[in-house]
Amino acid sequence: MKNTITLNVNGEGRSVDVDPNETLLEVLRERLGIKSPKIGCERGDCGSCTVLLDGRSVRSCLILAVEADGSDIVTIEGLSKDGPTELQQAFIENNSFQCGFCAPGVVLAATELLARNPSPTEDEVKEAISGNLCRCTGYDPIVKAVLEVGGKGGGGQNG
Amino acid sequence: MPIAHEFEYVKPETIEEAVGILDKHGSSAHVLAGGTDIVPGLRDGLITPGLVVDIKGIAGLAGIECEGDVLRVGALATFTDLVESELIRKSAPLLYEMAMTVASVGVRNRATIVGNICSAVPSCDSGPVLLVLDASVHVMGPSGKRVVPITEWFTGPKATALGSAAIVTSVSLPVPPKAHGAAYVKLGRYRGEDLAQASVAVLALPDNEYRVAFGAVAPTTVRAPGIEELLRGKVMDEALIGDAKRLVANETAPIADIRASREYREHMLPIMFERGLRAAVARLAGDGPAYGARLI
């Protein structure tokens, strides 16, 4: 039986009919055309499907779309609506990503960290992104960029 | 890969309604909270429910609170809730130390400690910690409320004393005395997103009283009564630590699996136990490493 769910996706109300066995990741990508959350391991290990749900980073591959009814979803498309955030700019300047597959998840995980802890330690940064696997960079330029933004006491929002 | 199995979804608003639904649908209904075990289970075809019952809409199952000298962790409390709770940090920091080892932030934001003990894999992080904290599992079923001591909860790999058509509403534990020391040592292949290859929890209480439990080295997480008996009432010294380490092999029965060989587990267990014991004793004395520090 289809369930009609309402999501606030990147500031826009979206209504969609879903089957109970559709994941939030599938609905975002295939029904709503939001392609920044990636299909990776599909078991919560790699972090490439990360989205912010009510301000918290979550694995959209581990959530049924029906469960997310009424929630607030932020993806990279919403985060950088008005251009790159300060954090994203720091990632660019540090050449933090190569292939970019992990980037949406890393950006959102680090955004959540900075929103809750504006000046994290190196260990706290590593802990926050430990569930986001990057096979290109060895993580150093990623950690460095987050620490740079943290050092300024800034968050992950625009401006 | 999409979930091929088809099922219906329902989100009741009261515990009575939820239990009624479970009672009506029998074993074809499956309870859903954080979903971090259930969704992969659905995808892999390990569980094939006709109906998924989401309990996140039930008021009263959330939260962590202290009533007198009892700490109650609701069925919807996530590992992130445990990490961020001032109450936990102050009264039972072992739960914080354990929660910090569970998967990664993105999983901890959804996964619940109650779901962890309901999945009941032998490597579950919550098991050893709740065992040394003498926790109780609060269950609501068709015939009313039940309280199951955590020592009687785990009945086998992925098997519990839950019973049919029942829901765990919370776990509770007596608040440990203000002066106590504890440690959770988890061995994994890497930090962030791995199940335990082996784990040990140690609780050191005043008057040389100790509790010890192991994970991932027996069909269920287990208390170690032989070690507790040896340590009881004795002043800690190097000889006693050596004697206790030699008992670890009697209290555990590790197997080889995809995550580690039996020999590796047997080699690491006494080392992990010693580090956990030393950390717990030092924390009791007030000069141990901060909770959450890397012990292995």
Question: Which DSSP string corresponds to chain A?
Answer: --EEEEEEETTEEEEEEE-TT-BHHHIIIIIS---SS--SSSSSSS-TTEEEETTEEEEGGGSBGGGGTT-EEE-HHHHTTTS--HHHHHHHHTT--SS-SSHHHHHHHHHHHHHH-SS--HHHHHHHTTTS--SSS-SHHHHHHHHHHHHTT--SS--
Q: Could you confirm whether domain A86-151 is CATH 1.10.150.120?
A: yes
Could you tell me what percent of chain B has a pLDDT over 70? 99
- My answer on whether B240 and B146 are in the same domain is no
Look at residue B247 and tell me if it is in a domain. Answer: yes
Q: Which pLDDT score, from 0 to 100, does residue A156 have?
A: 46
Facing A44 at nearest CB: one of B1, B5, B40: B40
Please tell me whether the overall predicted TM-score, pTM, comes out greater than 0.90 for this model. yes
What is the Cα–Cα distance from B283 to B236, expressed in whole angstroms?
14
The band of B253, judged by pLDDT with boundaries at 50, 70 and 90, is very high
Classified as helix, coil or strand, B279 is helix
Q: Which of A1, A58, A71, A73 is the best mutation test for B, with the most CBs of B within 10 A?
A: A58
Interchain proximity A42–B110, CB inside 8 Å: no
Domain range holding B220?
A: 181-284
| CB spacing of A130 vs B191 below 8 angstroms | yes
- The minimum CA-CA distance between B102 and chain A, rounded to whole Å, is 11
Question: What are the pLDDT digits (tens) for A111-158?
Answer: 999 999 999 999 999 999 999 999 999 999 999 999 999 987 554 444
**Domain end point (choices B129, B149, B174):** B174
| B184 — pLDDT class (breaks 50, 70, 90) | very high
Burial of B125 (0-12, 13-18, 19+ CB in 10 A): buried
Domains held by chain B: number: 3
Say whether both B192 and B170 belong to one domain: no
Interface test with B, best of A41, A64, A122 (most B CBs within 10 A): A64
The stretch A9-20 carries a mean pLDDT of 98
Q: Which distant-in-sequence residues (6+ apart) come within 8 Å of B242 by Cβ? A: none
> CA of B5: which chain A residue's CA is closest?
A21
Note whether residue B123 is domain-resident: yes
Separation CA A60–CA A43 (nearest Å) = 10
Query: Which pLDDT score is estimated for A1?
Result: 82
One domain for residues B186 and B169: no
Together in a domain, B150 and B193: no
pLDDT tens, residue by residue, B2-20: 999 999 999 999 999 999 9
Residue B65 contacts A where some CB pair is shorter than 8 Å: no
B1 and A CB contact within 8 Å: yes
Report yes or no: B55 at the A interface, CB cutoff 8 Å. no
pLDDT for the residue A30: 97
Domain A3-77 superfamily per CATH: Beta-grasp domain (3.10.20.30)
B44 domain residue, yes or no: yes
Average the pLDDT over each of B146-150, B192-196, B270-274 and give the range with the smallest value: B192-196
Q: What's B280's domain CATH number? A: 3.30.390.50
SS3 state at B6: coil
Chain A's closest residue to B48, CA to CA, is A21
Examine the fold and report which residue of B151, B174, B197 is the final residue of a domain before the chain moves on: B174
The domain locations on chain A are: 3-77, 86-151
How many residues in chain A? 159
For residue B221, being part of any structural domain is answered with: yes
Residue of chain B with shortest Cα separation from A50? B106
Mean pLDDT of the B80-103 span: 97
Residue in chain B lying closest to A70 (CA): B57
Q: Which two tokens stand for residue A62?
A: 């581990």
B188 and B244 belong to one structural domain: yes
Asked if residue B165 and residue B206 are part of one domain, the reply reads: no
What confidence score (pLDDT) does residue A151 get?
A: 87
Q: Mean per-residue pLDDT for B44-50?
A: 97
- Whether B9 sits inside 8 A of A20 (CB atoms) is yes
Query: Which pLDDT score is estimated for A159?
Result: 37
Q: Could you tell me if B189 lies within 8 Å of chain A, comparing CB atoms? A: no
Q: Is B214 found in the same domain as B163? A: no
The count of other CB atoms within 10 Å of the CB of residue B62 is 16
d(CA B87, CA A46) in angstroms, rounded, equals 31
Assess whether B206 and B151 both reside in one domain. Answer: no
Query: What CATH code is carried by the domain that includes residue B88?
Result: 3.30.465.10
The answer to whether position B291 is within a domain reads no
**Residue B194 falls inside a structural domain:** yes
B259 near A CB under 8 A: no
Burial (CB < 10 A; 0-12, 13-18, 19+), residue B291, is buried
Average pLDDT of the segment spanning B139-168: 97
Mean pLDDT across B136-150: 97
